[in-house]
């Protein structure tokens, strides 16, 4: 059952004095935040869905050092604004398109603010200002990186000393993001650059078709980080050759590995490596919810399974239609999801109701008062329309929602 409550008030900008602390040390722990309830009973579940900007929520609602694993799949700087059809959501206005979320960037006031908040934040500040010198002042990539940098600082803050972060991106910005993560976490915290390799419909292009995403995996302290070894099936050729048995090996004086023909006990498979071959969600798959950029559940299951244990708290600050939330729920983890698109939050609720009917969680951030609704309408007309359509029972068109907005004024 979902309980609905509003987030009160707006949030103060990150205190840049705190961020200027020597050597980029993290700001002191803040008051407030989500209180994790003890016990594992369903009614004590801390599972939470936030509708809003993750920067505000990270700053004000989530306790420092409370999260075991962060998975984030932010906009990739694709230069696209993702539209989706009302039809996909089963709504009435067939053919009417709305923007789900934006992935186009230009330098503006909020970029300047984000940049100012982190420019003196230890090595991350150095890296970001260095990139700015190189790319120039009003660059699109810089706008994207400033947005990411300030959020990454706060995410780092939320991780327990044994915590890890998986940043899902693609080759458009992965090299810049890796520099930011190296600067923020320290190069020694780097664990893996995971390649999610998939196949999709071949197209003719004047370059090689891209068939992979990049997932950067860092841990606060690799010595303490949780990691569960998992195995995958051996290739067909090695199955044939070794008949599902472990192969014995000998090592020569130079340390070279020489497989021998001797066979011992059953093989459990080969340890999972950093290339995950998982298909994208097929157009006809039941898993497909019609949300642009939805990731396969299997990918999130693998990540959460290797890097956390049952009962751990998983945070996805760009949760979209909730693939990480769904995987966390399925694997017995606690979770927090955040998204700025109202439609995403609604889809997650539908998804959980359909596939995880026992899930208990709370939703924060929807307007609950007239003043809150007015505020949302002023800040973001699109999101207001989505919210109003949801309020009218999910079957309303945006035209009805628009009328509601007019009537409310
Ligand atoms: C690539 S999608 C995530 C897809 C998700 N992994 C899934 O499987 O559905 C990125 C999401 O980030 C959200 N987003 C973008 N900026 C945000 C912000 N500042 N705060 C919270 N969510 C944001 C978008 O609304 C979008 O749903």
The CA 51 to ligand 1 mean position distance, Å, reads: 11
- Which pTM does this prediction carry? 0.81
pLDDT at residue 37 in the model: 32
Q: What burial class does residue 337 get, using C-beta atoms within 10 Å of its C-beta: 0-12 exposed, 13-18 middle, 19+ buried?
A: buried
Last residue of a domain, one of 239, 271, 303: 271
The CA 402 to ligand 1 mean position distance, Å, reads: 24
Specify whether the CB–CB gap between 355 and 335 falls below 8 A.
no
Instruction: Find out whether the beta carbon of 339 lies less than 6 Å from any atom of ligand 1.
Output: yes
Residue 400 has pLDDT above 60, yes or no: no
pLDDT at residue 192 in the model: 98
Cα separation, 280 vs 297, whole angstroms: 10
pLDDT at residue 374 in the model: 80
Are 113 and 251 in the same domain?
no
Residue 395 has pLDDT above 80, yes or no: no
Using alpha carbons, select from 91, 56, 59, 54 the residue that is nearest to residue 74. Answer: 54
Cα separation, 361 vs 1, whole angstroms: 7
Instruction: Find out whether the beta carbon of 363 lies less than 6 Å from any atom of ligand 1.
Output: no
Are 288 and 262 in the same domain?
no
Ligand 1: atom nearest CA of 321 is 9
Cα separation, 247 vs 122, whole angstroms: 49
Instruction: Find out whether the beta carbon of 58 lies less than 6 Å from any atom of ligand 1.
Output: no
The CA 227 to ligand 1 mean position distance, Å, reads: 26
Q: pLDDT category, 24, cuts 50, 70, 90?
A: very low
pLDDT at residue 100 in the model: 55
Q: pLDDT category, 83, cuts 50, 70, 90?
A: low
The CA 240 to ligand 1 mean position distance, Å, reads: 44
Residue 279 has pLDDT above 80, yes or no: yes
What three-state secondary structure class fits 301? helix
More confident residue, 43 or 143: 143
Are 353 and 373 in the same domain?
no
Residue nearest to atom 12 of ligand 1 (CA): 318
Are 118 and 256 in the same domain?
no
Residue 96 has pLDDT above 60, yes or no: no
**What residue numbers bound the domain in which 184 lies?**
2-227+281-366
Instruction: Find out whether the beta carbon of 75 lies less than 6 Å from any atom of ligand 1.
Output: yes
Q: What is the total count of domains within the chain?
A: 3
Last residue of a domain, one of 271, 299, 325: 271
pLDDT at residue 160 in the model: 98
2-18 pLDDT, tens digit each: 333 333 322 222 332 23
Please list, in sequence order, all residues whose beta carbon lies within 8 angstroms of the beta carbon of residue 210, skipping any fewer than 6 positions away: 170, 171
Residue 39 has pLDDT above 50, yes or no: no
Specify whether the CB–CB gap between 292 and 82 falls below 8 A.
yes
Mean pLDDT of 211-221: 97
Instruction: Find out whether the beta carbon of 53 lies less than 6 Å from any atom of ligand 1.
Output: yes
Residue 138's CB: how many other CB atoms inside 10 A? 13
Residue nearest to atom 10 of ligand 1 (CA): 74
Mean pLDDT of 28-34: 29
Cα separation, 198 vs 206, whole angstroms: 20
Are 206 and 235 in the same domain?
no
Are 114 and 174 in the same domain?
yes
What three-state secondary structure class fits 159? strand
% of the chain exceeding 90 in pLDDT: 53
Cα separation, 312 vs 330, whole angstroms: 13
The CA 133 to ligand 1 mean position distance, Å, reads: 29
Cα separation, 158 vs 68, whole angstroms: 9
Q: Which of 118-132, 362-376, 388-402 has the highest mean pLDDT?
A: 118-132
Instruction: Find out whether the beta carbon of 73 lies less than 6 Å from any atom of ligand 1.
Output: yes
Instruction: Find out whether the beta carbon of 122 lies less than 6 Å from any atom of ligand 1.
Output: no
Instruction: Find out whether the beta carbon of 318 lies less than 6 Å from any atom of ligand 1.
Output: yes
Q: pLDDT category, 388, cuts 50, 70, 90?
A: confident
Residue nearest to atom 16 of ligand 1 (CA): 340
Residue 205 has pLDDT above 70, yes or no: yes
Substitution candidate for ligand 1 out of 52, 168, 344, 365 with most atoms within 8 A of CB: 344
More confident residue, 31 or 233: 233
Mean pLDDT of 51-77: 94
Residue nearest to atom 2 of ligand 1 (CA): 320
- CATH number, residue 189: 3.40.50.150
Are 294 and 403 in the same domain?
no
Residue 46 has pLDDT above 50, yes or no: yes
Are 192 and 326 in the same domain?
yes
The CA 263 to ligand 1 mean position distance, Å, reads: 49
The mean of the pLDDT values for the chain is 80
14-18, 136-140, 304-308, 344-348: segment of lowest average pLDDT: 14-18
Residue 363 has pLDDT above 70, yes or no: yes
């Amino acid at each position: 059952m979902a309980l609905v409550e509003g987030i009160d008030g707006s949030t103060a900008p990150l205190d840049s004095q705190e961020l200027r602390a020597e050597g980029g040390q993290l700001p002191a722990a803040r008051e407030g935040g989500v209180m994790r309830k003890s016990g594992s009973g369903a009614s004590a579940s801390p599972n939470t869905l936030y509708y809003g900007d993750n920067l505000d929520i990270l700053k004000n609602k989530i306790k420092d050092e409370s999260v075991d694993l962060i998975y984030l799949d932010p906009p990739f700087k694709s230069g696209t604004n993702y539209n989706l059809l009302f039809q996909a959501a089963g709504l009435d206005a067939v053919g009417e398109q709305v923007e789900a979320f934006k992935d186009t960037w230009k330098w503006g006031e909020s970029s300047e603010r984000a940049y100012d908040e982190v420019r003196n934040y230890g090595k991350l500040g150095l890296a970001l200002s260095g990139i700015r010198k190189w790319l120039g002042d009003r660059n699109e990539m810089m706008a994207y990186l400033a947005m990411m940098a300030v959020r990454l600082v706060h995410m780092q803050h939320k991780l327990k000393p044994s915590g890890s972060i998986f940043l899902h991106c693609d080759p458009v910005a992965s090299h810049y993001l890796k520099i930011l993560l190296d600067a923020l976490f320290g190069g020694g915290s780097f664990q893996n650059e995971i390649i999610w390799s998939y196949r999709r419909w071949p197209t003719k292009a004047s370059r090689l078709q891209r068939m992979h995403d990049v997932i950067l995996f860092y841990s606060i302290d690799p010595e303490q980080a949780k990691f569960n070894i998992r195995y995958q099936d051996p290739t067909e050729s090695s199955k044939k050759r070794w008949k599902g048995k472990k192969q014995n090996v000998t090592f020569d004086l130079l340390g070279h590995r020489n497989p021998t023909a001797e066979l011992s006990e059953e093989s459990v498979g080969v340890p999972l490596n950093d290339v995950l071959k998982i298909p994208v969600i097929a157009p006809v798959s039941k898993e497909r919810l019609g949300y642009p950029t939805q990731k396969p559940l299997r990918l999130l299951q693998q990540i959460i399974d290797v890097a956390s244990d049952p009962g751990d708290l998983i945070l996805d600050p760009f949760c979209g239609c909730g693939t990480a939330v769904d995987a966390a729920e399925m694997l017995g983890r606690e979770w927090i999801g955040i998204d700025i698109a109202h439609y995403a939050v609604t889809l997650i609720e539908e998804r959980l109701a359909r596939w995880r009917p026992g899930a208990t969680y709370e939703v924060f951030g929807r307007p609950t008062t007239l003043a809150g609704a007015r505020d949302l309408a002023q800040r973001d007309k699109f999101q207001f329309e989505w919210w109003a359509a949801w309020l009218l029972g999910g079957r309303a068109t945006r035209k009805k929602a628009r009328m509601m907005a007019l009537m409310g004024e």
